[in-house]
Structure 1
Amino acid sequence: METKPQEQTRKPRADAVRNRERVLHAAKLVFSAGGPDASLEAVARQAGVGIGTLYRHFPTREDLFEAVYRREVEQLSELAEELKSEPSPVEALRRWLRSTVQFVATKKGMMAALAIVMTANSELAAYSHGHLTRSIGALLARAVEAGEVRADVTADDLLRALIGMCYMHDQTGWQQSVLRLLDVFVDGLRVGKGRAREA
Protein backbone atom coordinates (compact mmCIF):
# COMPACT_ATOMS: atom_id res chain seq x y z
CA MET A 1 0.00 0.00 0.00
CA GLU A 2 2.92 2.34 0.68
CA THR A 3 4.09 2.17 -2.94
CA LYS A 4 0.82 3.54 -4.34
CA PRO A 5 1.52 7.19 -3.43
CA GLN A 6 4.98 6.82 -5.00
CA GLU A 7 3.43 5.47 -8.19
CA GLN A 8 1.00 8.36 -8.24
CA THR A 9 3.84 10.87 -7.96
CA ARG A 10 5.79 9.19 -10.78
CA LYS A 11 3.02 9.35 -13.37
CA PRO A 12 2.56 13.14 -13.42
CA ARG A 13 6.31 13.49 -13.53
CA ALA A 14 6.53 11.18 -16.55
CA ASP A 15 3.66 13.05 -18.21
CA ALA A 16 5.40 16.33 -17.52
CA VAL A 17 8.60 15.06 -19.13
CA ARG A 18 6.68 13.87 -22.18
CA ASN A 19 4.86 17.18 -22.46
CA ARG A 20 8.13 19.07 -22.25
CA GLU A 21 9.61 16.93 -25.01
CA ARG A 22 6.52 17.45 -27.17
CA VAL A 23 6.74 21.20 -26.70
CA LEU A 24 10.44 21.27 -27.63
CA HIS A 25 9.83 19.16 -30.72
CA ALA A 26 6.88 21.32 -31.74
CA ALA A 27 8.84 24.50 -31.13
CA LYS A 28 11.58 23.30 -33.47
CA LEU A 29 9.02 22.72 -36.24
CA VAL A 30 7.24 26.02 -35.71
CA PHE A 31 10.40 28.10 -35.37
CA SER A 32 11.90 26.47 -38.46
CA ALA A 33 8.91 27.65 -40.48
CA GLY A 34 9.33 31.16 -39.09
CA GLY A 35 7.06 33.98 -40.18
CA PRO A 36 3.95 35.23 -38.37
CA ASP A 37 2.97 31.73 -37.23
CA ALA A 38 6.08 31.36 -35.07
CA SER A 39 4.17 32.12 -31.86
CA LEU A 40 3.91 30.31 -28.56
CA GLU A 41 0.25 29.63 -29.30
CA ALA A 42 1.28 27.91 -32.55
CA VAL A 43 3.82 25.85 -30.61
CA ALA A 44 1.18 24.75 -28.09
CA ARG A 45 -1.19 23.76 -30.91
CA GLN A 46 1.54 21.83 -32.70
CA ALA A 47 2.44 20.02 -29.45
CA GLY A 48 -1.19 19.23 -28.65
CA VAL A 49 -1.03 20.90 -25.24
CA GLY A 50 -2.70 23.89 -23.69
CA ILE A 51 -0.90 27.21 -23.56
CA GLY A 52 -0.92 26.90 -19.77
CA THR A 53 1.06 23.66 -19.99
CA LEU A 54 3.61 25.37 -22.21
CA TYR A 55 4.00 28.24 -19.76
CA ARG A 56 4.42 25.85 -16.82
CA HIS A 57 7.49 24.40 -18.51
CA PHE A 58 8.72 27.63 -20.09
CA PRO A 59 7.50 30.72 -18.19
CA THR A 60 8.84 33.14 -20.83
CA ARG A 61 9.42 33.09 -24.58
CA GLU A 62 13.12 33.43 -23.90
CA ASP A 63 13.08 30.30 -21.73
CA LEU A 64 11.59 28.29 -24.59
CA PHE A 65 13.95 29.78 -27.18
CA GLU A 66 16.96 28.98 -25.02
CA ALA A 67 15.77 25.41 -24.36
CA VAL A 68 15.25 24.75 -28.08
CA TYR A 69 18.61 26.29 -28.89
CA ARG A 70 20.44 24.21 -26.28
CA ARG A 71 18.69 21.05 -27.46
CA GLU A 72 19.78 21.69 -31.05
CA VAL A 73 23.39 22.25 -29.98
CA GLU A 74 23.33 19.05 -27.93
CA GLN A 75 21.94 17.07 -30.86
CA LEU A 76 24.67 18.40 -33.15
CA SER A 77 27.26 17.28 -30.60
CA GLU A 78 25.66 13.84 -30.43
CA LEU A 79 25.60 13.63 -34.23
CA ALA A 80 29.32 14.43 -34.36
CA GLU A 81 30.00 11.52 -32.02
CA GLU A 82 27.90 9.19 -34.16
CA LEU A 83 29.62 10.32 -37.35
CA LYS A 84 33.03 9.31 -36.01
CA SER A 85 32.13 5.79 -37.16
CA GLU A 86 31.34 6.98 -40.71
CA PRO A 87 33.75 5.15 -43.09
CA SER A 88 34.59 8.35 -44.99
CA PRO A 89 35.75 11.15 -42.67
CA VAL A 90 35.09 13.82 -45.30
CA GLU A 91 31.53 12.60 -45.81
CA ALA A 92 31.04 12.66 -42.04
CA LEU A 93 32.15 16.29 -42.06
CA ARG A 94 29.80 17.03 -44.94
CA ARG A 95 26.82 15.43 -43.17
CA TRP A 96 27.46 17.41 -39.99
CA LEU A 97 27.66 20.70 -41.88
CA ARG A 98 24.43 19.91 -43.72
CA SER A 99 22.70 19.17 -40.40
CA THR A 100 23.91 22.49 -39.08
CA VAL A 101 22.00 24.23 -41.86
CA GLN A 102 18.81 22.82 -40.31
CA PHE A 103 20.00 24.22 -36.97
CA VAL A 104 20.19 27.66 -38.58
CA ALA A 105 16.69 27.16 -40.01
CA THR A 106 15.35 26.46 -36.52
CA LYS A 107 16.90 29.70 -35.29
CA LYS A 108 15.19 31.65 -38.08
CA GLY A 109 11.95 32.11 -36.17
CA MET A 110 13.63 33.29 -32.99
CA MET A 111 16.58 35.38 -34.14
CA ALA A 112 15.52 38.59 -32.40
CA ALA A 113 14.76 36.87 -29.10
CA LEU A 114 17.94 34.82 -29.25
CA ALA A 115 19.98 37.97 -29.76
CA ILE A 116 18.55 39.30 -26.50
CA VAL A 117 19.11 36.00 -24.69
CA MET A 118 22.68 35.74 -25.97
CA THR A 119 23.46 39.29 -24.89
CA ALA A 120 22.04 38.71 -21.41
CA ASN A 121 23.50 35.22 -21.06
CA SER A 122 27.14 35.06 -22.08
CA GLU A 123 27.26 31.49 -20.74
CA LEU A 124 24.83 30.41 -23.46
CA ALA A 125 27.00 31.93 -26.17
CA ALA A 126 30.10 30.27 -24.75
CA TYR A 127 28.23 26.97 -24.42
CA SER A 128 27.13 27.07 -28.03
CA HIS A 129 30.48 28.08 -29.47
CA GLY A 130 32.35 25.55 -27.38
CA HIS A 131 30.13 22.61 -28.34
CA LEU A 132 30.00 23.47 -32.03
CA THR A 133 33.73 24.10 -32.28
CA ARG A 134 34.58 20.83 -30.56
CA SER A 135 32.15 18.90 -32.75
CA ILE A 136 33.36 20.23 -36.06
CA GLY A 137 36.96 20.23 -34.87
CA ALA A 138 36.90 16.51 -34.12
CA LEU A 139 35.41 15.68 -37.53
CA LEU A 140 37.83 17.99 -39.30
CA ALA A 141 40.85 16.49 -37.51
CA ARG A 142 39.75 13.00 -38.48
CA ALA A 143 39.42 14.02 -42.14
CA VAL A 144 42.83 15.71 -42.10
CA GLU A 145 44.49 12.68 -40.50
CA ALA A 146 42.94 10.48 -43.18
CA GLY A 147 44.47 12.71 -45.84
CA GLU A 148 41.04 13.54 -47.25
CA VAL A 149 41.01 17.30 -46.69
CA ARG A 150 43.62 20.04 -46.60
CA ALA A 151 45.31 20.69 -43.28
CA ASP A 152 45.41 24.50 -43.39
CA VAL A 153 41.83 25.10 -42.22
CA THR A 154 40.48 25.28 -38.69
CA ALA A 155 37.17 24.56 -37.01
CA ASP A 156 36.59 28.31 -36.67
CA ASP A 157 37.23 28.71 -40.42
CA LEU A 158 34.52 26.18 -41.20
CA LEU A 159 32.01 27.73 -38.80
CA ARG A 160 32.63 31.21 -40.23
CA ALA A 161 32.19 29.91 -43.77
CA LEU A 162 28.96 28.19 -42.82
CA ILE A 163 27.58 31.28 -41.09
CA GLY A 164 28.46 33.32 -44.18
CA MET A 165 26.63 30.90 -46.46
CA CYS A 166 23.53 31.06 -44.26
CA TYR A 167 23.53 34.85 -44.14
CA MET A 168 20.60 35.19 -46.56
CA HIS A 169 18.42 32.83 -44.52
CA ASP A 170 15.43 35.15 -44.88
CA GLN A 171 15.12 34.51 -48.61
CA THR A 172 12.92 31.85 -50.18
CA GLY A 173 14.77 28.64 -51.04
CA TRP A 174 17.89 29.60 -49.10
CA GLN A 175 18.40 26.14 -47.60
CA GLN A 176 18.76 24.38 -50.95
CA SER A 177 21.15 27.07 -52.12
CA VAL A 178 23.28 26.71 -49.00
CA LEU A 179 23.34 22.90 -49.23
CA ARG A 180 24.56 23.17 -52.84
CA LEU A 181 27.24 25.68 -51.82
CA LEU A 182 28.26 23.41 -48.94
CA ASP A 183 28.95 20.57 -51.37
CA VAL A 184 31.08 22.90 -53.50
CA PHE A 185 32.89 24.13 -50.39
CA VAL A 186 33.61 20.68 -48.96
CA ASP A 187 34.76 19.40 -52.35
CA GLY A 188 37.13 22.36 -52.45
CA LEU A 189 38.65 21.21 -49.15
CA ARG A 190 39.41 17.75 -50.51
CA VAL A 191 42.88 16.81 -51.63
CA GLY A 192 44.26 14.37 -54.17
CA LYS A 193 42.02 11.94 -56.00
CA GLY A 194 39.18 12.40 -53.55
CA ARG A 195 38.66 16.00 -54.62
CA ALA A 196 35.97 15.23 -57.17
CA ARG A 197 32.87 14.12 -55.36
CA GLU A 198 31.32 10.88 -56.55
CA ALA A 199 27.84 11.22 -58.00
Structure 2
Amino acid sequence: MCAVTEEQALRADARANHDRLLEAAARAFAADGPGASLRGIARDAEVGIATLYRRFPTRELLVEAVYRNESGRLADAAEQLRETLPPLEAVIAWMRQFLEYLSTKSGMAETLRLLFTTDQGLRLQTRAALVEACAGLLEAAADAGQLRHDLDPLDVLMALGGFAFIAEDQAEPDLRERLIRLLVDGLRV
Protein backbone atom coordinates (compact mmCIF):
# COMPACT_ATOMS: atom_id res chain seq x y z
CA MET A 1 0.00 0.00 0.00
CA CYS A 2 1.30 3.44 -0.96
CA ALA A 3 1.56 6.12 1.72
CA VAL A 4 -0.16 9.44 1.11
CA THR A 5 2.38 12.17 0.48
CA GLU A 6 2.24 15.48 2.29
CA GLU A 7 1.35 17.19 -1.02
CA GLN A 8 -1.56 14.79 -1.64
CA ALA A 9 -2.85 15.30 1.90
CA LEU A 10 -2.66 19.07 1.43
CA ARG A 11 -4.54 18.83 -1.84
CA ALA A 12 -7.24 16.68 -0.20
CA ASP A 13 -7.49 19.18 2.66
CA ALA A 14 -7.67 22.11 0.23
CA ARG A 15 -10.37 20.31 -1.77
CA ALA A 16 -12.37 19.67 1.41
CA ASN A 17 -12.07 23.36 2.33
CA HIS A 18 -13.18 24.34 -1.19
CA ASP A 19 -16.22 22.04 -1.01
CA ARG A 20 -17.21 23.28 2.46
CA LEU A 21 -16.90 26.90 1.30
CA LEU A 22 -19.21 26.26 -1.67
CA GLU A 23 -21.78 24.49 0.50
CA ALA A 24 -21.68 27.22 3.16
CA ALA A 25 -21.93 29.96 0.52
CA ALA A 26 -24.92 28.27 -1.13
CA ARG A 27 -26.72 28.16 2.23
CA ALA A 28 -25.80 31.77 2.99
CA PHE A 29 -26.89 33.13 -0.40
CA ALA A 30 -30.19 31.24 -0.15
CA ALA A 31 -30.84 32.58 3.36
CA ASP A 32 -29.37 36.09 3.20
CA GLY A 33 -29.20 36.96 -0.49
CA PRO A 34 -26.32 38.70 -2.23
CA GLY A 35 -25.24 40.54 0.90
CA ALA A 36 -24.44 37.33 2.77
CA SER A 37 -21.51 37.80 5.10
CA LEU A 38 -18.26 36.39 3.72
CA ARG A 39 -16.95 36.09 7.28
CA GLY A 40 -20.08 34.12 8.15
CA ILE A 41 -19.54 31.85 5.14
CA ALA A 42 -15.94 31.20 6.19
CA ARG A 43 -17.03 30.54 9.79
CA ASP A 44 -19.78 28.14 8.63
CA ALA A 45 -17.24 26.32 6.42
CA GLU A 46 -14.87 26.14 9.40
CA VAL A 47 -12.06 27.94 7.60
CA GLY A 48 -10.44 31.31 8.08
CA ILE A 49 -11.46 34.32 6.04
CA ALA A 50 -7.99 34.28 4.45
CA THR A 51 -8.72 30.80 3.09
CA LEU A 52 -11.93 32.06 1.53
CA TYR A 53 -10.18 35.04 -0.10
CA ARG A 54 -7.25 32.91 -1.25
CA ARG A 55 -9.65 30.61 -3.08
CA PHE A 56 -12.21 33.26 -4.11
CA PRO A 57 -10.60 36.72 -4.24
CA THR A 58 -13.92 38.41 -5.07
CA ARG A 59 -17.54 37.86 -4.14
CA GLU A 60 -18.30 37.48 -7.86
CA LEU A 61 -15.89 34.55 -8.20
CA LEU A 62 -17.51 32.89 -5.19
CA VAL A 63 -20.99 33.39 -6.66
CA GLU A 64 -19.88 31.93 -9.99
CA ALA A 65 -18.31 28.91 -8.29
CA VAL A 66 -21.44 28.30 -6.21
CA TYR A 67 -23.60 28.60 -9.32
CA ARG A 68 -21.46 26.13 -11.26
CA ASN A 69 -21.32 23.72 -8.33
CA GLU A 70 -25.05 23.79 -7.56
CA SER A 71 -25.96 23.50 -11.26
CA GLY A 72 -23.67 20.50 -11.67
CA ARG A 73 -25.02 18.82 -8.56
CA LEU A 74 -28.59 19.28 -9.76
CA ALA A 75 -27.81 17.88 -13.22
CA ASP A 76 -26.01 14.88 -11.66
CA ALA A 77 -28.90 14.27 -9.27
CA ALA A 78 -31.22 13.37 -12.16
CA GLU A 79 -29.22 10.25 -13.02
CA GLN A 80 -28.93 9.23 -9.37
CA LEU A 81 -32.67 9.62 -8.86
CA ARG A 82 -33.44 7.63 -12.03
CA GLU A 83 -31.30 4.78 -10.69
CA THR A 84 -32.85 4.73 -7.22
CA LEU A 85 -36.52 5.71 -7.54
CA PRO A 86 -39.48 4.73 -9.70
CA PRO A 87 -39.73 7.10 -12.70
CA LEU A 88 -42.50 9.42 -11.51
CA GLU A 89 -41.07 9.63 -7.99
CA ALA A 90 -37.70 10.54 -9.51
CA VAL A 91 -39.32 13.37 -11.50
CA ILE A 92 -41.01 14.75 -8.38
CA ALA A 93 -37.86 14.45 -6.24
CA TRP A 94 -35.85 16.26 -8.90
CA MET A 95 -38.47 19.01 -9.16
CA ARG A 96 -38.12 19.57 -5.43
CA GLN A 97 -34.34 19.80 -5.79
CA PHE A 98 -34.74 22.18 -8.73
CA LEU A 99 -36.86 24.53 -6.61
CA GLU A 100 -34.25 24.42 -3.84
CA TYR A 101 -31.59 25.22 -6.44
CA LEU A 102 -33.63 28.21 -7.62
CA SER A 103 -33.91 29.53 -4.08
CA THR A 104 -30.10 29.48 -3.83
CA LYS A 105 -29.82 31.09 -7.26
CA SER A 106 -32.26 33.88 -6.36
CA GLY A 107 -29.92 34.94 -3.56
CA MET A 108 -27.21 35.41 -6.18
CA ALA A 109 -29.42 36.84 -8.94
CA GLU A 110 -27.96 40.33 -9.08
CA THR A 111 -24.38 39.08 -9.34
CA LEU A 112 -25.38 36.35 -11.81
CA ARG A 113 -27.09 38.90 -14.06
CA LEU A 114 -23.82 40.83 -14.30
CA LEU A 115 -21.89 37.62 -14.87
CA PHE A 116 -24.24 36.50 -17.64
CA THR A 117 -23.86 39.79 -19.50
CA THR A 118 -20.17 39.02 -19.89
CA ASP A 119 -20.42 35.21 -20.17
CA GLN A 120 -23.57 34.05 -22.00
CA GLY A 121 -21.90 30.68 -22.54
CA LEU A 122 -22.13 29.84 -18.84
CA ARG A 123 -25.89 30.46 -18.77
CA LEU A 124 -26.49 28.53 -21.97
CA GLN A 125 -24.27 25.65 -20.88
CA THR A 126 -26.11 25.40 -17.55
CA ARG A 127 -29.50 25.55 -19.22
CA ALA A 128 -28.52 22.79 -21.65
CA ALA A 129 -27.31 20.53 -18.83
CA LEU A 130 -30.50 21.05 -16.81
CA VAL A 131 -32.76 20.57 -19.84
CA GLU A 132 -30.94 17.32 -20.61
CA ALA A 133 -31.28 16.14 -17.00
CA CYS A 134 -34.98 16.97 -16.94
CA ALA A 135 -35.52 15.35 -20.36
CA GLY A 136 -34.07 12.06 -19.15
CA LEU A 137 -36.38 11.99 -16.15
CA LEU A 138 -39.46 12.92 -18.19
CA GLU A 139 -38.62 10.34 -20.86
CA ALA A 140 -38.25 7.56 -18.27
CA ALA A 141 -41.62 8.46 -16.73
CA ALA A 142 -43.24 8.64 -20.19
CA ASP A 143 -41.77 5.26 -21.13
CA ALA A 144 -43.27 3.88 -17.91
CA GLY A 145 -46.68 5.20 -19.02
CA GLN A 146 -46.85 7.75 -16.20
CA LEU A 147 -46.33 10.98 -18.16
CA ARG A 148 -47.13 12.17 -21.67
CA HIS A 149 -44.53 11.71 -24.43
CA ASP A 150 -45.00 15.20 -25.91
CA LEU A 151 -43.45 17.13 -23.01
CA ASP A 152 -40.82 19.78 -23.64
CA PRO A 153 -38.35 19.74 -20.72
CA LEU A 154 -37.64 23.46 -21.13
CA ASP A 155 -41.36 24.18 -20.68
CA VAL A 156 -41.32 22.13 -17.47
CA LEU A 157 -38.27 24.05 -16.19
CA MET A 158 -39.94 27.37 -17.03
CA ALA A 159 -43.07 26.32 -15.12
CA LEU A 160 -40.93 25.39 -12.12
CA GLY A 161 -39.17 28.74 -12.38
CA GLY A 162 -42.52 30.48 -12.21
CA PHE A 163 -43.45 28.40 -9.18
CA ALA A 164 -40.21 29.38 -7.46
CA PHE A 165 -40.94 33.05 -8.12
CA ILE A 166 -44.48 32.74 -6.74
CA ALA A 167 -43.48 30.66 -3.71
CA GLU A 168 -40.67 33.06 -2.81
CA ASP A 169 -43.19 35.76 -1.91
CA GLN A 170 -45.57 33.49 -0.02
CA ALA A 171 -45.24 32.34 3.57
CA GLU A 172 -46.99 29.02 2.94
CA PRO A 173 -44.61 26.15 3.73
CA ASP A 174 -46.45 23.60 1.57
CA LEU A 175 -47.08 25.86 -1.45
CA ARG A 176 -44.13 24.49 -3.45
CA GLU A 177 -45.30 20.93 -2.89
CA ARG A 178 -48.85 21.77 -3.99
CA LEU A 179 -47.58 23.49 -7.12
CA ILE A 180 -45.36 20.52 -7.99
CA ARG A 181 -48.32 18.16 -7.63
CA LEU A 182 -50.44 20.46 -9.78
CA LEU A 183 -47.79 20.51 -12.49
CA VAL A 184 -47.28 16.74 -12.38
CA ASP A 185 -51.03 16.19 -12.67
CA GLY A 186 -50.96 18.30 -15.84
CA LEU A 187 -48.10 16.22 -17.27
CA ARG A 188 -49.79 12.86 -16.78
CA VAL A 189 -51.04 10.71 -19.64
For normalisation by structure 2, the TM-score amounts to: 0.89
Aligned pair count reads: 188
Find the counterpart in structure 2 of residue 150 from structure 1. Answer: 148
Write the distance in 2 (CA, Å) between the matches of 1:12 and 1:104. 34
Q: Match for 1:125 among 123, 126, 135? A: 123
Q: Match for 1:50 among 28, 45, 48? A: 48
Q: Which amino acid aligns with 1:145?
A: D
Q: Which amino acid aligns with 1:47?
A: A
Q: Secondary structure at the match of 2:99?
A: helix
- RMSD value, Cα: 2.2
Q: Rg larger in 1 or in 2?
A: 1
Segments of 4+ moved more than 4 angstroms: none
Write the distance in 1 (CA, Å) between the matches of 2:160 and 2:126. 15
Q: Which consecutive unaligned segments of at least 5 residues does structure 1 have?
A: 192-199
Q: How much does 1:36 deviate?
A: 7.7
Find the counterpart in structure 1 of residue 8 from structure 2. Answer: 10
Q: How much does 1:87 deviate?
A: 5.0
Q: Which consecutive unaligned segments of at least 5 residues does structure 2 have?
A: none
Q: Match for 2:86 among 88, 94, 109? A: 88
Write the distance in 2 (CA, Å) between the matches of 1:59 and 1:103. 24
Write the distance in 1 (CA, Å) between the matches of 2:29 and 2:153. 27
Q: How does 1:22-171 map to 2 (within 5 A)?
A: 22-35=20-33, 38-168=36-166, 170-171=168-169
Q: Which amino acid aligns with 2:75?
A: S
For normalisation by structure 1, the TM-score amounts to: 0.85
Question: For the Cα contact (< 8 Å) 1:89–1:142, is it kept in 2?
Answer: yes
Q: Secondary structure at the match of 2:165?
A: coil
Q: Which amino acid aligns with 2:15?
A: V
Identity of aligned residues (%): 40
Q: Which amino acid aligns with 1:26?
A: A
Q: Which amino acid aligns with 2:174?
A: Q
Identify the range of structure 1 (56-65 vs 165-174) with the bigger mean alpha-carbon deviation.
Answer: 165-174
Question: For the Cα contact (< 8 Å) 1:166–1:174, is it kept in 2?
Answer: no
Write the distance in 2 (CA, Å) between the matches of 1:9 and 1:74. 27
